[in-house]
């Protein structure tokens, strides 16, 4: 077999010939979890040096033995590479290869220590023993029943995963999605996918119509079949929901579905009728226009409106509060002198069962909430505080001195059933429920929360309506305010102490459509705008700011204290590219390293949780630091606010590096220092509430590194495409007729 060490062969001739290269994977340089594209360094037979292989493959780990079919190519940038048309993972046959394979971390409970012992004891027959007679592993000193069970289970799981992965990849499914499918269906994955690939879009979070459609096409399902049209209609509605919309006019639904599916409108209309008949969709007519909802979103809007209307009725749980006396007592006990607007707000909240407090930073929301709680606690002790995220709940606890929980914890989420233990049949034990950061709460979660609030209780919603709306569908806080059904306190006055912060002053300037003022003079400020003319220049300045200038000048730790917030995930200034660069600069020498799902993790890395994991009590957007990696046990430990959480290597698709995160992911969090890159390449996302949200995340320092045109666009652009929701209308109607 010709190899790259064959210096006598002409490169051009070598590039034309199909060959097979076999060898052991030494390093996974790159792996794309979506399409399986990999760059591998392998120790090939007949070659003195490591060989670079590029091609598509299932998940591969160092130590695995592969056979690649393809041809040699001379890449201008990276030199001679083997471009593989196909990569097959095969079990190694040599003792050295088997030892590396078992030590790779693929088999939980083995690791390098026991891999060496197993090969020494059983030689090249160890894989057969794992297959047919695993009890013999008990002959190895240190392997007891518990470890044997762990190894056996992991070995069987790896075999099943490999078979399922090969099947799914042969039908166009990327690695990350294949793992989600496996985690949901386990050994039934192949059967389930074969029977109805479109069920994937219903059963598995993160698996959409496009993935299912790719599989369906390869399984022979007709392009214009009704089952495809039904799934396509749901997909269009789900895509709109992921953009925040709860409903869509029929005309738009038909047009977008027909265009996306490349089928005729009559087939789409038939599919809409079938899905409506199955109660997967709900039809309403508003102002003479037909609109359609996904059933869960329609139900959530209806329940939210009804629950709020019901809560507005009746008397407050507390009685006999003398407002003037309460204001005097607050001043005597805390030294706080409430402003006239805060006194009016206090009176409004204390005389209504449901109310909203909204306003930007520095306008006294926290002071007002504390004053309200101080008054009410003298009348009742059953007050519950909550917020959408762990970090927001922690901040609420710190500002009030009372326990605050995430909404999921408050409602007692049950991971076994996928629902909440608290609801209309088992309401919360409370006289008052306070929800902070309400702008982050989507319509589904709000409906679940309100169903658990007892009829006797009062409700206080607190939030900044000018921030980004929730990641999930709906515009709950904005809609409640717009309904005019719930009393609203709008705080606008910036208090003297807060006005000393240029972060707060400039946040309000941005919210008013004005360009933020830059720091002047030599004195240190908490807000800077650094002008840059090109994305490349922004990148260079950002790296220097985070790794050198801010730590040197302000004393902030570059990993713990500084957070880069960027509008996008993709591109040179997106979170993915910036994370790779910042990891290399700030933690590149850390060992050991584990490579999974296209990311490399090391102790000391800052990471973010990408999905809600109720078993671990870690939620989407939570940021922590990797404290340990155990290659023997194939486990990684992350510290989330001094709480260690363990992840198996197979669970690392839930984590991503977090030196840089998207602005959307930062909602509800605060960081000592924030660095925000803004370039015209972000133009589709540049809008006022995005930059406003980013700026208000910084506590001690905000640095914007921007092309002037991009910053101006972000500040002046108020997005016209408002989310299509009907909560405001439903709430207005329900409040006018609370008992229909």
Residue ranges for the known binding site for ATP are: 362-366
Instruction: Compute, in degrees rounded to 10, the torsion defined by CA atoms 666, 667, 668, 669.
Output: 20
Map tokens 């999930």 to a residue.
Answer: 472
DSSP string, 635-665: EEEEEETTEEEEEEGGGGGGEEE-SEEETGG
Cα separation, 301 vs 190, in Å, equals 37
Name the strand (E) or helix (H) holding 511: helix 502-511
Cα angle 279-283-287, degrees, rounded to a multiple of 5: 165
Q: What 8-state DSSP symbol labels residue 466?
A: T
Cα separation, 287 vs 242, in Å, equals 25
Name the strand (E) or helix (H) holding 369: helix 365-377
Cα separation, 727 vs 483, in Å, equals 8
Cα separation, 63 vs 59, in Å, equals 12
Q: Are 491 and 341 in contact (CB under 8 A)?
A: yes
DSSP string, 297-351: HHHHHHHHHHHHHHHTSS--S-----HHHHHHHHHHHH-----HHHHHHHHHHHT
Q: Are 399 and 525 in contact (CB under 8 A)?
A: no
Q: Are 189 and 162 in contact (CB under 8 A)?
A: no
Q: How far is CA 272 from its chain centroid?
A: 31
Map tokens 């909430």 to a residue.
Answer: 369
Q: Are 502 and 361 in contact (CB under 8 A)?
A: no
Cα angle 551-555-556, degrees, rounded to a multiple of 5: 65
Pick from 292, 246, 237, 298: nearest CA to 725: 246
3-state SS, residue 702: strand
Pick from 566, 596, 594: nearest CA to 581: 566
Feature table: binding site? 362-366
Cα separation, 676 vs 663, in Å, equals 9
Cα separation, 465 vs 239, in Å, equals 24
């Amino acid at each position: 077999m010709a190899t790259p060490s064959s210096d006598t062969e002409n490169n051009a001739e070598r590039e034309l010939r199909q060959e097979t290269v076999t060898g052991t994977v030494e390093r996974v340089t790159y792996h794309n979890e979506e399409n399986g594209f990999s760059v591998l360094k392998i120790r090939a037979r007949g070659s003195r040096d490591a060989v670079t292989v590029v091609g598509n493959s299932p998940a591969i780990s160092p130590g695995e033995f592969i056979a690649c079919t393809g041809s040699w190519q001379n890449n201008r940038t990276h030199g001679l590479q083997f471009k593989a048309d196909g990569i097959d993972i095969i079990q190694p046959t040599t003792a050295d290869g088997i030892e590396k394979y078992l030590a790779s971390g693929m088999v939980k409970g083995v690791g390098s220590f026991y891999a060496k012992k197993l090969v020494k004891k059983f030689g090249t027959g160890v894989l057969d023993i794992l297959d047919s007679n695993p009890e013999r592993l008990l002959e190895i000193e240190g392997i007891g029943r518990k470890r044997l069970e762990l190894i056996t289970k992991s070995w069987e799981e790896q075999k099943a995963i490999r078979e399922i992965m090969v099947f799914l990849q042969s039908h166009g499914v990327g690695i990350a999605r294949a793992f989600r499918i496996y985690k949901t269906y386990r050994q039934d994955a192949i059967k389930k996918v074969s029977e109805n690939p479109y069920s994937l879009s219903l059963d598995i979070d993160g698996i959409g119509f496009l993935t299912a459609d790719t599989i369906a096409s390869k399984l022979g399902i007709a392009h214009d079949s009704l089952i495809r049209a039904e799934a396509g209609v749901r997909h269009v509605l789900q895509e709109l929901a992921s953009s925040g919309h709860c409903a869509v006019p029929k005309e738009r639904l038909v047009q977008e579905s027909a265009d996306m599916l490349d089928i005729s409108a009559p087939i789409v209309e038939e599919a809409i009728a079938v899905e409506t008949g199955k109660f997967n969709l709900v039809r309403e007519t508003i102002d003479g226009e037909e609109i359609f909802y996904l059933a869960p979103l329609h139900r959530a809007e209806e329940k939210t409106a009804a629950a709020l209307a019901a809560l507005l009725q009746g008397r407050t749980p507390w009685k006999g509060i003398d407002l003037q006396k309460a204001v005097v007592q607050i001043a005597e006990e805390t030294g706080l002198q409430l402003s006239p607007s805060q006194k009016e707000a206090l009176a409004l909240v204390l005389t209504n069962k449901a109310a909203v407090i909204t306003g930007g930073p520095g306008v006294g929301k926290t002071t007002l909430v504390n004053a309200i709680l101080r008054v009410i606690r003298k009348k009742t002790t059953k007050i519950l505080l909550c917020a959408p995220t762990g970090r927001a709940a922690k901040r609420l606890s710190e500002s009030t001195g009372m326990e605050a929980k995430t909404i999921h914890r408050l409602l007692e989420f049950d991971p076994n059933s996928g629902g909440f233990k608290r609801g209309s049949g088992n309401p919360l034990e409370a006289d008052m429920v306070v929800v902070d950061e309400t702008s982050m709460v989507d319509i589904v979660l709000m409906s679940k929360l309100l169903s658990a609030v007892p009829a006797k209780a009062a409700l206080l919603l607190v939030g900044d309506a000018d921030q980004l709306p929730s990641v999930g569908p709906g515009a709950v806080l904005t809609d409640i305010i717009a309904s005019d059904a719930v009393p609203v306190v709008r705080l606008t006055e910036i208090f003297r102490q807060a006005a000393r912060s240029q972060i707060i002053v400039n946040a309000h300037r941005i919210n008013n459509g004005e360009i933020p003022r830059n720091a002047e003079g030599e004195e240190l400020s908490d807000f800077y705008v650094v002008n840059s003319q090109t994305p490349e220049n922004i990148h260079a300045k950002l790296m220097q700011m985070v790794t050198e200038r801010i730590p040197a000048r302000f004393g902030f730790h570059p990993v713990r204290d500084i957070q880069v917030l960027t509008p996008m995930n993709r591109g040179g200034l997106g979170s993915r590219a910036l994370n790779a660069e910042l990891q290399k600069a700030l933690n590149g020498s850390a060992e050991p390293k584990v490579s999974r799902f296209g990311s490399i993790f090391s102790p000391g890395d800052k990471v973010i949780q990408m999905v809600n994991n109720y078993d671990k009590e870690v939620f989407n957007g939570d940021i922590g630091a990797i404290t340990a990696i155990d290659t023997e046990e194939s486990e990684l430990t992350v510290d989330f606010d001094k709480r260690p959480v363990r992840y198996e290597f197979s669970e690392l698709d839930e984590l991503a590096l977090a030196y840089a995160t998207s602005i959307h992911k930062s909602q509800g969090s605060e960081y000592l220092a924030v660095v925000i890159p803004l370039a015209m390449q972000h133009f589709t996302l540049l809008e006022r509430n995005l930059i406003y949200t980013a700026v208000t995340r910084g506590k001690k320092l905000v640095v914007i590194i921007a092309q002037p045109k991009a910053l101006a666009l972000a500040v002046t652009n108020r997005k016209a495409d408002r989310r299509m929701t009907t909560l405001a209308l439903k709430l207005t109607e329900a409040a006018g007729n609370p008992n229909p």
